[in-house]
Amino acid sequence: MPPGFVENLYVFLLAGFLGFEVIRRVSPLLHTPLMALTNALDAIVVVAAIIIAARPGSTLTLVLGAIAVAAAFSNMVGGFLITDRMLRMFKLSGRKKP
Amino acid sequence: MTLGALDPARLQSLTDFAYIVAIACFILSLKWLSSPATARRGVLIGEIGAAVAVVTTFFNPELVRFQWVLIALLAGAIIGIPLGLVQMTAVPQRTAMSHAFGALAAAVIGIAEYYMRIPRIDKFEMVEIAAEVIIGSLSFTGSLIAAGKLQEWLPQRPIVYKGQNYVSFAVLGAAVLAALILVFHPTAPAVFPAMVVISLLFGVMLVTPIGGADMPTVIALLNSYVGLTAALLGFVLNSKVLVVAGALDGSSGFILAVIMCKAMNRSFTNVLFGAFGQLQVTARGAQEERTVHTATPEEAAAILAAANTVLVVPGYGMAVAQAQHKVRELLDVLTRKGVDVKFGIHPVAGRMPGHMNVLLAEADVPYDRLVEMDAANSEMPQTDVALVVGANDVTNPAAKTDQGSPIYGMPIIEVDHARTVMVIKRSLNPGFAGIDNPLYYEDKTLMLFGDAKAFVSNIVKELSGGGE
C-alpha cells in the first residue's frame, strides 16, 4: 500500500461527512453560486499541476503539467469571479440598487 | 528566491502548515456560503485559502523550471476571466465548461504521474491512477457534451438508439478491462492510451442520450465526479489538500444531484439511462378538440391589477426569452399598485440547480420575494393569480393525478390550486419532455399566447399607462 493511504482515507471520510453537513445547510437560493464556488475550490489541483510542470522531468510531463495548470487556474480565477458577481446580485427588498 | 536557503525539512513543514490553513479557509468558505448575508465573506476566505496554497507551492525546492508554469497561469487567467464574466443566462454552460476544465486538469496530472512512475509502479498505485484517469476522462468529455447541449451547439433532445445502454456498458467494461491489464502489466504497450481514449468515448456516450430537461441532475452529477477525481488524485499524490477539496466538491455535487432527483421523483439510474423525453408522442390527437381560454395583454393586466396576491412561476422559457428584466418591471408596477407579488421556484426549473434564483437576482428581484416550492404550495389556495412564465412540466397537475403520465409522482408547484392561472406560452405545443399539460384546458386557466418578453412588456405598458 502506498504511504499515507490509510491516513488519506481517514481524511477523505471526515471531509466527506463534514462537506455533507456544511453543504446541506446551503439555501437552495444559492445552489448556483455553491456550484461555482466548489468548482473554484476544487481548482486547488493547480498546486499539483504546478509541481508536475515545474519539477525536472520529460517534455511530456511538462506539456501535461502546463495544460493542467492552465485548465485548473482558469477555474480558480473564473470560479471565484463569477461566484462573487452572483452573490453581489442577491439583495433584500427595500434596499435600492447601488 | 531567498527562502531556498531554508533547510528543506523546515520548508516542508511550512508547506504542510500552509496547506492546512488553506483547507480551514475552504471549509469556512462553504460554511459562510449558507446564507446570503455572509456568502461574500465566504468567497473572500476561499480566495485567501487558494492564494496561500498556490504561493506556498512556488517555494517547493524540487521545482526548477518556472517559465512554462507562469505562461500556463497567464493562459489560465486569460481563459478564466471571460468565463467569470458571462451573462447569468449562460451560467449553466459555463458551469459545464468549468467541470470539463476541472476534470481535464485532474486527468492529465494522473496521466503525467503514470508516465513518470513506470516501470516502477506497484499494483495499488496503478489501481489509484487508473480509477482517477478513467473518471477524470469520462467527466471531461461528458461535461463538454453537456456544455454543447446547453449552448445549443448540440441538439438538446436525447439522442438514443436501440441497445444503447448495452453498448455504453460494454465500452465502460473495456476501460475497466484495460485498467486491470495495467495493474498486472503496468508497461503493457498502448494499453494506457487505449484506456484513456475508451474513457473519453464513454463520457460522450454517457451524456449524449440525456435531454435538456435533465441537465440540472447531470450537471450536479458531473460536479460530483470531478470532485471525486480530485480526491482520487489526492490519494495518488498523497496530498491531503486535494483529498479534502475533492471530498467537499464531490459531496456538494452529490447532495445537489440527490435534491434534483427528488424534485423529479426519479432515480440516478433513471436519469442516466432512462433517456427521458421521447415519450408520449402518442395519445394526443384524440383530445386535440379540447378548448382553451385565451386573454390579451389588456385583459391580463386588468386581472393582475385587481388581484391581492400574485405568484409568478418562472421556468427555462423565461431564460430563453430573456424575459427576466420585464418580469422585474411587472413586479415593480404591481407592487406600486399594492399587489403582493412572490416568485415560486421549483428546484429543477431551469438548466441547473438554483438557475432561476440567479436569473431573477440579476434582474434585481429581491431574494425575499423568492419562495421555495413547499412554501409556494402552502400559500397557493390564498393566491389570486398564478402567472406561469416559461415553465411547463413543473406545473403539470398530471404529475399528481395521471398514473400513466411519465412525470407521475414528481412534486409540482400546484398552480391549479390558485384562483386564476395565467400561462404565457408560445403555443400549445407540449413542453420539452413532450408531455401534454391538462392545466391549459381548465376553466380557471387563461392562456397568454406569445413571446414571454413581449407579452410581459405589453402587460407592464398597460399597467403603467392605465393606472395612477
Largest CA distance in chain B: 85
Average pLDDT over residues B40-63: 93
Q: Are strands B385-389 and B370-372 parallel, antiparallel or unpaired?
A: unpaired
Q: Is B282 exposed, middle or buried (0-12, 13-18, 19+ CB in 10 A)?
A: exposed
Count Cβ neighbours within 10 Å for each residue of B147-185 and write b for 16 or more, e otherwise. bbbbeeebebbbbeeeebbeebeebbebbeebbebbbee
Q: Which of B85, B98, B144, B183 to mutate to test the interface with A (most CBs of A within 10 A)?
A: B98
Residue B468 — pLDDT band, cuts 50, 70, 90?
Answer: very low
Contact (Cβ atoms closer than 8 angstroms) between residue B350 and residue B260:
no
Interface of B with A in 119-178 (CB under 8 A): 122, 124-125, 128
CA A24, A30, A32, A36 torsion-angle sign = negative
Residue B286 — pLDDT band, cuts 50, 70, 90?
Answer: very low
Average pLDDT over residues B392-409: 86
Residues in contact with B410: Cβ distance below 8 Å, sequence separation at least 6, in sequence order: B263, B264, B265, B266, B393, B394, B399
B164-184 vs B123-150: helix axis angle to the nearest 10?
A: 150
Chain A residues with beta carbon closer than 8 angstroms to that of B372? 28
Report the complex ipTM. Answer: 0.94
Do B248 and A47 lie within an 8 Å CB cutoff? no
B433 or B194, greater pLDDT: B194
pLDDT value, residue B467: 46
Residue B277 — pLDDT band, cuts 50, 70, 90?
Answer: very low
Structure confidence by residue, pLDDT tens digits, B160-205: 788 888 898 899 999 999 999 999 999 988 999 999 999 999 999 9
Residue B265 — pLDDT band, cuts 50, 70, 90?
Answer: confident
pTM of the model: 0.90
Asked if the model's pLDDT at residue B312 lies above 60, the reply is: yes
Do B248 and A38 lie within an 8 Å CB cutoff? yes
Catalytic residues of B: 393
Do B73 and A44 lie within an 8 Å CB cutoff? no
Q: Tell me how close the Cα of B441 comes to any Cα of chain A, in angstroms.
A: 32
